Copies of this chain bind each other. A is one copy, B any other.
Amino acid sequence: MNIQLALDRLTIEEAVSIAGEVEGDVDWIEVGTSLIKEFGMDSVKRMKARFPNKTILADMKTIDNAKYEAELCFEAGADVMTVMGAASPATIEACLETAGKYKREVMIDLLHLSDSQKEKLLPFETAIFCEHVSKDEQEMGGQKNELARSMFQGLRMAVAGGITEASFNKLQMLRPEVVIIGSAITKAADRKAAASRLKQLSKQEEVK
């Protein structure tokens, strides 16, 4: 199980600095969509340059122009990119094909999809499927990701959306490959301690 540190609504300098604080307790570092749209591929390049041995995920949220966007972020050093499950199959296929050429990975973001939309994504089984409650639904509707089951269980899975130490164990039942944590680390009074506790939780679950 990998902990992915999601870095959003920050400058590149702040993001790199926070990642440095918790480096020992996180496995993947996510360059958030807001950094990409504010600063472009510099955000990905600088994160990979600073943390060459970490898995760097570029949260591209690609929904069209897939080959071009995939090449952009892989050339910038991303190990994993995201594509929206809401995209056309042609877009998802192009991401997977380009990732294959670069020997990188694709995470499909399941944000705001119905079960019937999700079912159509099951054939993309080499991707990582991310069950995701959006920031806007969290902030406006009070929703959090507290999934107890998913049709993607058994495939490569990630979970994201307002995950805290309290909700961590429940989500672990899904056996995700990646648990994505943003503000529970970035906004903690003591970030290093928070990341360390989450890392411990992830290890306990693996032992069971």
Chain A interface (Cβ < 8 Å from any Cβ of B): 8-9, 33-34, 36-43, 60-61, 63-69, 72-73, 84, 86-88, 90-91, 93-94, 111-112, 134-137, 139-141
Residues of B within 8 A of A38 (CB): 40-41, 72
Minimum C-beta distance from A101 to chain B (A): 16
Residues of B within 8 A of A42 (CB): 40
Residues of B within 8 A of A33 (CB): 64-65, 69
Given contacts A9-B68, A40-B43, A87-B136, 19 further A-B contacts (CB under 8 A): A8-B65, A36-B40, A37-B41, A37-B73, A40-B40, A40-B42, A61-B61, A63-B86, A63-B111, A63-B112, A64-B135, A64-B136, A65-B134, A65-B135, A65-B136, A90-B139, A91-B136, A94-B136, A94-B140
Contact, CB under 8 Å: B63 / A61: yes
Partner of A39, one of B40, B65, B68, B69: B40
Partner of A69, one of B34, B64, B87, B112: B34
